[in-house]
Structure 1
Amino acid sequence: MDYSYQMYSARNEASLDDTLKTLAGLGYKQVEGWGGQFADPAALSQSLRNAGLTMPTAHMGYGQLEDTDAALRIVEQVGIETVYCPAPPSEDYRNGKGDWAGFAQGLARIAAAFKAAGKGFGYHNHHWEFVKDANGKTPMEIILDASPDLQWEMDLAWVVKANEDPIAWLDKLGSRITAVHVKDIAPAGQNADEDGWADVGHGTLDWKTLIADVKAKTKARFFVLEHDKPSDAIRFARRSMDTLKSFGA
């Protein structure tokens, strides 16, 4: 399996070209882009080629995706197969005030345009998407119910942070999951400077078992390593890849 690396984890690195070449040297074949990288798609494409990497998946914010034709032009130029919207469009959704049904319909419209263009489209969760509404539905379910064309990139660690059982969600909606973020949670009280996240294999999640579960229960094609706030993005990339290689997966 070729593991990918979410480039948001390396957003503070000085040189994109150097970072991509370092990732390739560590054994990565793919990376996942994020919205801040797409100001110059041609230059990004050249940097990827120079490093021998591809970018099959990417994150684009909802505001960026609303100009769907422009987003699709970027997708074509960079060679992206599937885009995931990484979060709701405003703080309201994080505070229980957002219109999840309306947002879901907007995502469904984008998904239809992407499908017509031969591309995949979906949504990436945090923990906000698991607070049930008055009818007992979670925002994650509302989003996926809006269109069968909407895929789910499960950020499994955020599911755990939401006090949910990720295996139960794999069982329930595994057919909609086409990618998984591989990230780890530090033991309680540790890594405060990294917002409580950890390098993969150096936290509390049993990723060897979880990867097997994801393979068995979902359609996931992409396993994307991410750390929301690493103090050293290259250390995270190296130690996490070492962990995954030790699984033989």
Structure 2
Amino acid sequence: MTYPISYQLYSSRNFPPLFTQFPELKAFGYDAIEPWLPAYEADAKACRRALDDAGLRCHCFHMPLKGLIEEPQRFIDIALALGATILIPPYVAPEERGTTADYWRDLGKTLSEGADRAASHGLKVAWHNHDFEFRPLADGSRPIDLIFESAEKNVRFEIDCGWIIRAGADPAAELQTFADRIIAIQMKDMAPKGTKEDDGWAATGDGIIDWAKLVPLFRRTKAEHIVTEHDNPSDWRRFAKRSIDYIKGLAL
């Protein structure tokens, strides 16, 4: 299987206008983009037209967790307009995060409820991690485990390898643990510890992650596509091109 490769548009948020980047991303070799709110909010149909014109797709997009329950139809309509099949809540703000196991179990149940609603429209729901889900709570349990222990099988996982490294966890172990849940893999790379440039992130292949060793584990998951992302690149073009060139060299 050759994985389609998406570009997380959040990487370019500081370099508007975003839609004009689509033809360049296509020329670099990308198959799709993964937008985040508010990139598609003003007019999802206009975003879709810009993607179509550039020959790109949108497999999935990031959205607020609250939107999954409080405004499910709004985001289902956005998914259908974009041509996306996966809705991804990616974050819980620090002031909203619970500190108990029950909080994270309830989050898993919330994702399941959202996935049930989405399924009636032929859509899927996946969680996207940062570092906090992999840091143990006071009782020693990890939020990421609690989320998926309580979530139904209809909740998938977009695994972000870079944030796992920042949490002090092992991407290889997590790829194996959640293999049956993983529907997308973010190949976010991290610069050597202590690097201040670009907030310590790196283009895929320029960081500390040994991707060649992880690729065989990708094959054991249910991943449908690969995503590149950089949280704060000083040069989005360099990041985008370097990352996809490296990934294509891995023959994924």
TM-score between the two structures when normalised by the length of structure 1: 0.92
- Report how far residue 246 of structure 1 moved: 2.0
Q: CA deviation at 1:97?
A: 6.9
Name the SS for the 2:22 alignment partner. helix
Q: CA deviation at 1:16?
A: 2.1
Deviation at 1:212, TM superposition (A): 2.5
Structure 1 residues 48-57 or 12-21, which shifts more? 12-21
Query: Counterparts in 2 of 1:194-233, with a 5 A limit?
Result: 194-215=198-219, 217-233=220-236
In structure 2, C-alpha distance between the alignment counterparts of 1:248 and 1:177, rounded to whole Å? 20
Q: CA RMSD in A?
A: 1.8
Do the aligned partners of 1:61 and 1:89 also contact (CA within 8 Å) in 2? no
Q: Trace 1:36-75 onto structure 2 (pairs within 5 A).
A: 36-39=38-41, 40-65=43-68, 66-75=70-79
CA distance in 1, matches of 2:181, 2:251: 26
Q: Supply the distance in 2 between the matched residues of 1:97 and 1:148 (Cα, whole angstroms).
A: 23
Residue correspondences, number: 246
Q: Which amino acid aligns with 2:11?
A: S
Is 1:91 the equivalent of 2:95?
yes
Matching residue of 1:175: 180
Partner of 2:28: 26
CA spacing shift, 1:23–1:51, aligned 2, 3 Å:
same
Which residues in structure 2 correspond to 1:153-192 (within 5 Å)? 153-190=158-195, 192=196
Deviation sequence 1:89-116 (CA, Å, 0-9, x none): 55342x8479323322222211111112
**Paired AA for residue 16 in structure 2:** A
- Counterpart Cα distance in 2 of 1:36 and 1:235: 24
Q: Relative to structure 1, is the Cα distance of residues 41 and 239 closer, same or farther in structure 2, using a 3 angstrom cutoff? A: same
Q: State percent identity of aligned pairs.
A: 34
Could you tell me which runs of 5 or more consecutive residues in structure 1 were left unpaired when the two chains were aligned: none
Superposed counterparts of 1:90-109, under 5 Å? 90-93=94-97, 96=99, 99-109=103-113
Q: CA deviation at 1:135?
A: 4.9
Contact 1:62 1:89 in 2 (8 A): no
Residue by residue, what CA displacement relative to the aligned partner does 1:120-143 show, whole Å, maximum 9, x if unpaired? 101000111112335543211221
Query: Structure 1: which amino acid aligns with 2:182?
Result: I
Letter of the 1:12 counterpart: N
Would you say the 8 A contact 1:63–1:89 is kept in 2? no
